[in-house]
Amino acid sequence: MKLSQAFKDMDKYIKENLDTITCHDIFEIKSDFYTEIESLCGNTANFTGLTELLIFRFMYHALGMTEDVQNKLVQQDNMKLLIGNRYIGKNGKYQEPDIVVEKNEVIKYLLSIKNILSTVSPTKNEKESILIKELIKQNGVCTNSIQDIFRIDNIRHNRNNNFNSITIVFSKIPQRHKRAIEIIHNKFEWHRFLILENNNNSFLTELKKKLNFSNSSIS
């Protein structure tokens, strides 16, 4: 018995249903996996990375990739799909966005992935940010959505100053987190949030709409 077959089946399912798979379908794959893990060992605390894997493989197929993934990236012609790549920020600190699409060595799309939205304490570095202070003042508290946009905006400079980005949230969000999303949407026209749970729209259609993504725009 090989566990790898389960992941191959998942990847095949994504590829064959690329145009019709819904946001909630993606959520269900993740939810089903963690439900099984919890039933077998009691918790899911040490099992991470599935959400990034799902979105990475979806983008791999959506972009028509066929090359092998090596060293956290796959390159095809002038395009790269990268996971966990490091970029230097405006403040001199490194950021590691979840998934990035580059064209000619320049970021074209950035995808950040969250399982849930939650209230967080900003780091010392983040507390010094004018942007973080402004967003907390408007929202009342710091959330990981505010943290997320700060880190994304931090690498949006120099040659990487014109990409579109999205935060993909797997689980439905409580009312208290909607305010922060509205604030961010109003301030950053190039960034959007996409909630997967209970969203029966096509995932690919939602990406195209919110990320301004198309299969042909990077060729």
Bridge partners of residue 95, in order along the sequence: 87
Find where tokens 């990487």 sit: 160
Question: How does the average pLDDT of the chain come out, rounded?
Answer: 91
The pLDDT of 22-27, averaged and rounded, is 97
Which among 105, 182, 103, 91 has a CA at the least distance from the CA of 145?
Answer: 182
- Give the least confident one: 34-38, 138-142, 191-195: 34-38
State residue 49's pLDDT score: 81
Amino acid at 200: N
> Environment class of residue 97 by beta-carbon count within 10 Å: exposed (0-12), middle (13-18) or buried (19+)?
buried
Find where tokens 């019709």 sit: 20
Domain ranges of the chain: 4-210
State residue 213's pLDDT score: 76
Higher pLDDT, 9 or 42: 9
Name the pTM for this structure.
Answer: 0.93
State residue 47's pLDDT score: 67
Question: Of all residues in the chain, what percent carry a pLDDT higher than 90?
Answer: 79
Bridge partners of residue 100, in order along the sequence: 82, 110
Cβ atoms of 22 and 194 within 8 Å: the answer is no
Higher pLDDT, 29 or 219: 29
pLDDT at 145 over 50: yes
DSSP label of 30: H
Which among 4, 98, 5, 14 has a CA at the least distance from the CA of 54?
Answer: 14
pLDDT digits (tens, 9 = 90+) for 66-80: 999 999 999 999 999
pLDDT at 160 over 90: yes
State residue 51's pLDDT score: 94
State residue 45's pLDDT score: 65
135-149 core/surface letters (b: 16 or more CB in 10 A; e: else): bbeebeebbbbbbbb
pLDDT digits (tens, 9 = 90+) for 180-204: 999 999 999 999 999 999 999 999 9
pLDDT at 177 over 70: yes
pLDDT at 217 over 60: no
- CA dist., res. 108 & res. 129, Å (int): 25
- CA dist., res. 162 & res. 139, Å (int): 26
